[in-house]
Amino acid sequence: MTTPQDSFEAARLEKLHALEALGLDPWGGRFDGHQSINAVLALPADLLEEQRPRVRIAGRIVSRREGGKVHFLDLKDWSGTPTLREIKGEREGEVEKVPDLSSRIQVMVGQRQVGDSGWQLAQQLDLGDLLGVDGTFGKTKRGEPTVFADKLTFLGKSLLPHPDKFAGLHDLEYRLRHRYLDLVHNPETLDRARKRIQIVRTMRRFLDERGFWEVETPTLHAIAGGAAARPFITHHNALDIDLYLRIALELHLKRLLVGGIEKVYEIGRVFRNEGISPRHNPEFTMMELYQAYGDYRSMMDLTEELIVACVQSLGGGMKLPYGEHTIDFTPPWQRKTYAELFEQHVGVAMNDTDALRRVADREGFPTAGKDAAVIVHHLFEEHVEDKLLGPVFVYDYPAPLCPLTKRERDNPAIAERFELYVRGMELANAYTELNDPITQEQTFRMQLAGLPEEESMAKMDEDFIRALRHGMPPAGGLGIGIDRLVMLLTNTATIRDVILFPLLRPEKK
């Protein structure tokens, strides 16, 4: 049975063959010297016809209106600043957001102006096709900024139909599976992608200016280390060994500290074989940095300065919307200890073991055989995290939760660690790094005790301990989740919308 989709594609194939019959390449080619639509729109448009500037543009056809010997097209490229405007919906009181036209430009194609060959080409155009236009720029009698075409160059055929003009794509699943269409027809998606690029550029520039070196470390690891997370396992055929996609950047960057690179960072993908949620994707982007002769307090200052720089780079001020709320990134940010927040929201001191177990038992959390630190961590997640609207630095964590962190000299039960929370979401994690190889080895062995030997996370990185034995300088370390940072700075509720191609279940046929 022929479907409407089949009919659409057949009609477009006919036009492709018609283009070939005109001696045109339906897949286009080099088109030098074209200007961005944004640059053309900035030109004076109220000049007399004989004074109009000549322009050359290229873009995708997103609207087409035919009429006698004149056609009107809307071309779109990536140069504009996509915005949304509100219009009245179909129901009373309903307001809809539709894409503004700020990244589009109208093109007038007249039969006389483009000649016979150009007019024949114009008859074969479809929504989604890519087109080059030479002409002059001015305004129509109705005042619409327009390119008055005198030459058309075909640059690429779209064999499948695009969504209806202005309708966009509203089904999230469809958008994620067809991100290419999402970028074309939902201007907020393209704008979000731009802002992510701007944020990452700002981070790099900020760190480079402060003397940090950017490096690349291995993605395939022989041992899954640096975090408590389940890895993805793969197999190297030539060496006949299992390898793990990295779950953290940490241990290789610390080796570089040992090697004398005193300020080092990496922005890279990490992989954790765990669940998918609005805040978690199995493949995500981290920025980790390490600074010799720093500590977690110097990392706190650096984190605040770095994120403030990212906020400022977007040009929207220090107060940004997030859902129905507003986040005020104006420094200085709050700084509170883990212990004071725990007692405030749980109602007991985190070092009162009996009281902890009573609270956990009352809530149905099994405590038999569990270390007090595990109970503390559970209660903190349940009672405290969603209260941390922030930005707020939570510091001085229970030491058993932090195997890679230096302890306070006067209180070894406390680790010199902080996490940055914004709207209940962990955004950054930082330590005064543990550079004592003896304590580090003991901590690793305690952490791995009881895990079955065949478990991929049950192996200790002996070479990392060896590196520490050669002497790692005291240091501060910091990790920031890039995806979550972009979520917060672009008012995005789900991590899948800030990752261009998030992991999805296989498409049902």
22-36, 374-388, 429-443: range with highest mean pLDDT: 22-36
Q: If you average pLDDT over every residue of the chain, what do you get?
A: 87
Residue with the larger pLDDT of the pair 94 and 7: 7
pLDDT of residue 92: 53
Q: Residue 88 above 50 pLDDT? A: no
- Mean pLDDT of the region 341-366: 86
**Is 404 a residue whose pLDDT tops 90?**
no
What confidence tier does 402 reach under pLDDT thresholds 50, 70, 90?
Answer: confident
Residue 452 above 70 pLDDT?
Answer: no
How many angstroms separate the CA atoms of 312 and 331, rounded? Answer: 12
Between 473 and 176, whose confidence is greater? 473
Alpha carbon distance 105, 101 (integer Å)? 8
The domain 246-333+390-490 is placed in CATH, from the list 3.90.76.10, 3.30.930.10, 3.40.50.10890, 2.60.40.180, at 3.30.930.10
Q: What is the pLDDT of residue 186?
A: 81
Residue 183 — pLDDT band, cuts 50, 70, 90?
confident
Q: How many beta carbons lie within 10 A of that of residue 114, not counting itself? A: 23
**Quick one: pLDDT at residue 451?**
57
Q: Which residues contact 359 (CB under 8 A, 6 or more apart)?
A: 346, 347, 348, 379
Element (H, E) at 220: strand 220-221
Peptide bond before 391: cis, by omega within 30 degrees of 0? yes
pLDDT (0 to 100) of residue 84: 52
Q: What is the mean pLDDT of residues 35-52?
A: 92
CATH 3.30.930.10 location in the chain: 246-333+390-490
443-455: average pLDDT: 65
pLDDT value of position 89: 45
Which fold would CATH assign to domain 4-167? OB fold (Dihydrolipoamide Acetyltransferase, E2P) (2.40.50)
Q: How far apart are CA 299 and CA 420, in angstroms?
A: 11
- Contact between residue 281 and residue 502 where contact means Cβ atoms under 8 Å apart: yes
147: nearest Cα among 252, 37, 240: 37
Residue 483 has pLDDT above 50, yes or no: yes
Is the predicted pLDDT of residue 85 greater than 60, yes or no?
A: no
Is the pLDDT confidence value at 2 over 70? no
pLDDT of 251 over the 80 cut: yes
pLDDT of residue 166: 46
Residues 374, 471: Cα–Cα separation, whole Å: 32
Q: Tell me the backbone φ, ψ of residue 383, rounded to 5 degrees.
A: -110, -20
- Residue 23 scores a pLDDT above 60: yes
Mean per-residue pLDDT for 394-419?
A: 89
* pLDDT surpasses 90 at 419: yes
pLDDT recorded at residue 102: 54
pLDDT at 169 over 60: yes
Rounded to two decimals, the pTM is 0.86
Q: Where in the chain is the domain with CATH 2.40.50.140?
A: 4-167
Q: What is the per-residue pLDDT across 90-131, written as a single tens digit (0 to 9) for each? A: 455 555 554 454 578 999 999 999 999 999 999 999 999 999
